[in-house]
Amino acid sequence: MDQSIVKVLVPATIAFVIGILSTPVVTHYLYKYRVWKKVGGKTALDGSTAHEFNRLHGDYETKTPRMGGIVVWGSVFITTIGLAFLASIFPFNSVVRFNFLTRSETWIPFFTLIMGAVVGFFNDLLDISPEGTGLTLRIRLFIVVILSGFIGWWFYAKLAVTAINIPFAQPLSIGWLIIPLFIFVSLCLYASGVIDGIDGLSGGVFASIFASYTIIAFAEQQYELSALCATLVGGLLAFLWFNIPPARFYMSETGTMGITLTIAAVAFLTDSLGHGIGIAVLPIIGGLLVATVVSNILQIVWKKIFRKKLFRIAPLHHHFEAIGWPSPKVVMRYWILSVMFAFAGVILALSFLL
């Protein structure tokens, strides 16, 4: 088997195994310390009470632990740092080849994942307090802007990224505007993190997205980046193993913040730096994330203009629940759609490289 394929598959397998083996321990402590909301229910984006959501999931929130995202980023962290450590201790080719933590390809997305996970973890700690407030949305958005602004600046100043590739057309040179573009993409992806709302939904969708970028990065010969994306797939599948109904835990902010911001970094790395169209295919590969954000926006605008709701509840996956679809049906149909979107995005990305 080609060494580059092994370099991608081995870390993914290790992350999956670590996630599977560590979950019983994580679950034990999450239940032991009652890591769930003390008061169920949510507030709608316009500040009103989210009656439909509270009817569907309000009580469940006070029984199911949060912080399940630890399984994802924890397994990725242990795998990544563990292989890098082994490569430094045993500098043999048979060991070094599995180290995929490199400045040119994976420092940025790995840093983004861990920083987002840490901020999300702190928010979850506040969220499970008796007050159950968490960080306000304004503070979380501010943190996302600061973090993504720094990463965007790094792309511009350190990696000299000043253009984005357009399918079957000349690259679009935007200069320093690459920084606000990265901030905008990061904010949109972070907003899509509310897809973590039904058992098994977010894990399957995010796994499809990172599997797509695993293939795209591999085709661009960015093997370290491909290995990191595959490792995330391994961690997500381990999480999903325990998140299918009835879920043992929610992914919550410690998972969704790091994961969504990492998607932005990976998309930019597989664009002009990899001579691909990683940014252009992101709305396709992440089509369900787009639908999640757009449905929220439409709901707010519709209520302001027409004084009534467009959907029974936003985002869209909860609307389907509200009109009578069983949760497993919503999840499985989203999985099917996520694979279809991923397939379409990968085909377009690979056709650009031919």
Digit-coded pLDDT (tens) for 150-159: 999 999 999 9
In a domain, 146, yes or no: yes
In a domain, 300, yes or no: no
Of 1-5, 33-37, 157-161, 277-281, the poorest mean pLDDT is in 1-5
Closest CA to 215 of 328, 64, 342: 342
Model confidence over 285-310: pLDDT tens digits? 999 999 999 999 999 999 999 988 99
Whole-angstrom distance between the N-terminal and C-terminal Cα of the chain?
A: 23
Contacts of 99 (CB under 8 A, 6+ apart): 83, 84, 86, 87
pLDDT of residue 299: 93
Model confidence over 180-207: pLDDT tens digits? 999 999 999 999 999 988 999 999 999 9
Model confidence over 59-84: pLDDT tens digits? 666 788 999 999 999 999 999 999 99
In a domain, 92, yes or no: yes
What is the rounded average pLDDT for all residues in the chain?
Answer: 92
In a domain, 194, yes or no: yes
In a domain, 165, yes or no: yes
Domain hosting 199: range is 3-280
Q: What percent of the chain has pLDDT over 90?
A: 81
In a domain, 187, yes or no: yes
Indicate the number of domains in the chain. 1
Residue whose tokens read 């709305």: 283
In a domain, 256, yes or no: yes
Say if pTM beats, i.e. exceeds, 0.75.
yes
Model confidence over 300-342: pLDDT tens digits? 999 999 988 999 988 999 999 999 999 999 999 999 999 999 9
C-beta of residue 316 within 8 angstroms of C-beta of residue 295: yes
In a domain, 328, yes or no: no
Under the banding of pLDDT at 50, 70 and 90, the label for residue 49 is low
Q: Is the pLDDT of residue 165 over 60?
A: yes
